[in-house]
């Protein structure tokens, strides 16, 4: 059996619960982000890959040129790499046809947003904590049927309000259904944000 393209952890779960694709933030790990999955839906199968890029030893999903300035070409490449990994992992773990929802924080939310925009054939549902628009001019792909929850802080210095709002606007402009949860804090996942995500996950679960 060939190795999948990304190092990852996989946790089996209930056949009736959505599969969670868990995407860590900068410097995080699959083990870290599994804790988020257990908060969101403990019964779910969980797929937690490791970011393939290193920034001074910190794992990331794509390169950046400076704080808040993304290497857009690399974002596009890494979104494709992650989408291919998800397709292969579905086959490996017998998840074909199952509902799959990405949940990511910060850099993990940004790569989830990129895959949602660029590869809706692979990812059509995502919970994005502390996200911003990952590619400035994504293709005008029809995202009708895609569902996204954005949970961001209004005073987040790393994912500024206007950049998060740009992501919401781009998604809606392409037909995605977007729910917004805004908190008064910064770059964090709040208790209320987790509650909003659990509620959002439930309708089709």
Rounded-to-integer distance, Cα 32 and Cα 64, Å? 22
**Contact predicate 104/89, CB 8 Å:** no
Q: Dihedral sign, CA of 20, 96, 8, 16?
A: positive
First vs last C-alpha separation in the chain? 31
Q: What is the CB neighbour count within 10 angstroms for residue 69? A: 8
Q: Which two tokens stand for residue 70?
A: 């993304």
The label of the residue with tokens 């994504």 reads 138
Rounded-to-integer distance, Cα 110 and Cα 135, Å? 9
DSSP H helices, the chain, are: 30-40, 72-92, 107-118, 161-173, 191-201
Residue 135: which of 193, 90, 73 has the closest Cα? 73
Cite the active site residues. 106, 156, 187
Q: Which two tokens stand for residue 95?
A: 């998840």
């Amino acid at each position: 059996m060939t190795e999948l393209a990304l190092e990852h952890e996989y946790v089996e779960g209930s056949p009736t619960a959505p599969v969670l694709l868990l995407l860590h933030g900068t410097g995080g790990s699959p083990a870290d982000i599994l804790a988020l999955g257990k908060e969101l839906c403990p019964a779910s199968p969980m797929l937690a890959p490791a970011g393939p890029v290193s920034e001074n030893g910190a794992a990331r999903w794509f390169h950046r040129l400076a704080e808040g300035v993304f290497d857009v070409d690399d974002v596009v490449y890494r979104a494709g790499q992650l989408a291919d990994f998800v397709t292969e992992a579905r086959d490996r773990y017998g998840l074909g046809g199952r509902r799959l929802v990405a949940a990511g924080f910060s850099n993990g939310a940004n790569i989830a947003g990129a895959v949602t925009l660029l590869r809706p054939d692979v990812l059509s549902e995502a919970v994005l904590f502390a996200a911003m628009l990952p590619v400035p001019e994504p293709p005008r792909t029809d995202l009708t049927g895609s569902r996204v929850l954005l949970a961001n802080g209004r005073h987040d210095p790393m994912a500024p309000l206007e950049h998060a709002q740009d992501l919401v606007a781009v998604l809606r402009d392409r037909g995605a259904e977007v729910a917004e949860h805004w908190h008064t804090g910064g770059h964090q996942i709040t208790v209320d944000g987790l509650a909003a995500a659990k509620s959002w996950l439930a309708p089709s679960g």
